Chains A and B, each alone.
Chain A
Amino acid sequence: DSGVTQTPKHLITATGQRVTLRCSPRSGDLSVYWYQQSLDQGLQFLIQYYNGEERAKGNILERFSAQQFPDLHSELNLSSLELGDSALYFCASNQGEGGRETQYFGPGTRLLVL
């Protein structure tokens, strides 16, 4: 158990819908990262938050957004969903802004868009 929790574990929805994925980092960790794992793209970095502020952006679509709240949990919002958004979404956390630190991953949220 990494100490990072993600909810829900599974999500099934329809095209055009909007969903919110939630992540609670390990106690004491200030950084949260979001990654998407799909069969065709592999594991891709989406976005990083540190202590409530956006720190780095990767291949995140404009239809996706994220935020980190004062209690340090984070939410990833996916809107206007398409079939290709079906994937496993992981969050990870660590203490600092990240360089050279191990990232601890949650169990993931599996999203299926029908």
Chain B
Amino acid sequence: GNSVTQMEGPVTLSEEAFLTINCTYTATGYPSLFWYVQYPGEGLQLLLKATKADDKGSNKGFEATYRKETTSFHLEKGSVQVSDSAVYFCAPDRGSTLGRLYFGRGTQLTVWP
């Protein structure tokens, strides 16, 4: 089955620093790729997604590019804010008509003012 390896946290940054969270996946099919974010005490929210190779997903200043050749979907943001403090999950789907997600362990990000 599919699996995902995500950069271990916690990641601690100062406000306005550059963020990268690495994500690589293994897949038997051709998955769509998702980044979800979980703020303290809340459920998961979609941050961005990409459905085919070389697609770039972007939202709220975050970006990730679907790299089929390296099976990666790294999350980046040029200038983080305190409000970005959360847990970030990389999640490929099954790459078929069935939509279950395979989640990484999550990366805790803390941004200090």
The answer, yes or no, to whether B22 is at the interface (CB within 8 Å) is no
- The DSSP consensus for interface residues of chain B is loop
Interface size counted on chain B using CB atoms at 8 A: 25
Q: Which residues of B contact A58 (CB under 8 A)?
A: 100
Given contacts A55-B98, A94-B99, contact A99 B45 (CB under 8 A): no
B interface residues (Cβ-Cβ under 8 A, vs A): 32, 34, 36, 42-46, 49, 51, 89, 93-106
Cβ–Cβ contact B43 & A99, under 8 A: no
Cβ–Cβ contact B45 & A98, under 8 A: no
Interface size counted on chain A using CB atoms at 8 A: 29
Cβ–Cβ contact A106 & B43, under 8 A: yes
Cβ–Cβ contact A45 & B45, under 8 A: no
Q: Which residues of A contact B36 (CB under 8 A)?
A: 105
Cβ–Cβ contact B101 & A99, under 8 A: no
**Taking CB as reference atom, which chain A residue is nearest B6?**
A42
Cβ–Cβ contact B46 & A102, under 8 A: yes
Can you list 28 A-B contacts with CB-CB less than 8 angstroms, sorted by A residue number? A4-B43, A33-B99, A35-B101, A42-B103, A42-B105, A43-B103, A43-B106, A45-B100, A45-B101, A45-B103, A48-B98, A55-B98, A56-B94, A56-B98, A90-B44, A96-B97, A96-B99, A98-B99, A99-B93, A99-B94, A99-B97, A100-B99, A101-B99, A102-B46, A103-B46, A105-B43, A105-B44, A108-B43
